[in-house]
Amino acid sequence: MGDTLLELEGVHKRFGDLHVLRGIELAVARGSVVCVIGPSGSGKSTLLRCVNLLEPPDEGRIMLGGRQITGQTEDGVDFVRRRVGMVFQQFNLFPHKSALENLSLAQTSVLGRSAQEADDKSRALLERVGLGDKVHEYPERLSGGQQQRVAIARALAMDPEAMLFDEVTSALDPELIKEVLDVMRELAAEGMTMVVVTHEMTFAREVADKVVFMDEGLIVESGSPEEVLDHPREERTKRFLGLVFEH
């Protein structure tokens, strides 16, 4: 674990009258895994979407590798999106393209790799997420877990410095969750910097270097998994964890 890769300072986001993020301060060390937990509507997803500027913050600064990416310039958008991969709850694979083409498209059109280069890289990554036999399948022929693994591989194909995971197992049937989390465990073990919005407390406990609890647009509490999950200091954290572990 080294220097700070990603840093948010006083980030605010409003949707009309709705004040979704109310001053977020967060530092993510290079090579670390940060898990963000909290009730729905607490702003977790918006936080991720602000980081890669799908939702530009209204106030505050976001630094990536020491460079400010906020400030509305297209430069910042390109800079962050080429360095930070994102995986969505709904997979968002391109349905008219095969698994291989899903991985190759941005490699050729954004990074300018040759078709051959992109192809090789895509095959290797699909192999790595356990889908070496599905390279030519279209998304509708794949299970949710397989689709999500393709989506992770698609983001990895861009050689990102960090990965954002937005509730990536929430849309999956229970028996398919493990195969996706296993890929993420491996990725973490290899030293990928990850910010993971999740409801999977076991995963957070096992993989996270830092757990962040959010509520009502603020970071209420953060620390090691033991600190936040086992010995929460804040009343709201205790209440949330009580509800989660109850069932």
Partner 1 sequence: MDVVLEQYLDLNLMGEEFGFVFKGFLETLQLALISGFLALAWGLVLALLRQLPGKPLAPVRFATIAYIDAFRGVPLLLVILIISGSLPFVAEGLGLPRSVGIPQWFGKPDPFWYGVFAITVTYGAYMAEVYRAGIEGVPRGQMEAARSLGMSHGQSMRHVIVPQAVRRVIPPLLNDYIALMKDTSLVGVIALVEVVEAGRTVQAETLNSSALTLGALMFLAVTIPMARIVDRLLAGQQARFTRGAPSSA
Q: Which of residues 37-56 bind partner 1 (CB under 8 A)?
A: 52, 54
Residue type (1 letter), 212: V
- Mask 82-101, x = binds partner 1 (CB under 8 A)? x--xx-x-xxxxxxx-----
In this structure, are residues 149 and 129 in contact, taking their beta carbons and an 8 Å threshold? yes
148 makes contact with partner 1 (CB under 8 A): no
What residue has token string 């990102």?
160
CA distance 197 to 184: 12
Only one of the segments 18-26, 107-115, 120-128, 212-220 lies at the binding site for partner 1 (rule: CB under 8 A); that segment is: 107-115
Measured from the CB atom, is 129 or 219 closer to partner 1? 129
- Euclidean distance between CA atoms 108 and 29, whole angstroms: 30
Residue 103: how many CB atoms within 10 A of its CB?
28
Is 110 among the residues that bind partner 1 (CB under 8 A)? yes
Residue with tokens 């229970």: 174
DSSP state at residue 39: -
The residue (of 142 and 229) whose beta carbon lies closer to partner 1 is 142
In the bound state with partner 1, the residue whose beta carbon lies nearer, of 166 and 215, is 166
Residue type, position 238, single letter: K
Binding site for partner 1 (CB under 8 A): 52, 54, 78, 81-82, 85-86, 88, 90-96, 105-106, 109-111, 138-140, 144, 147, 151, 154-155, 158, 171
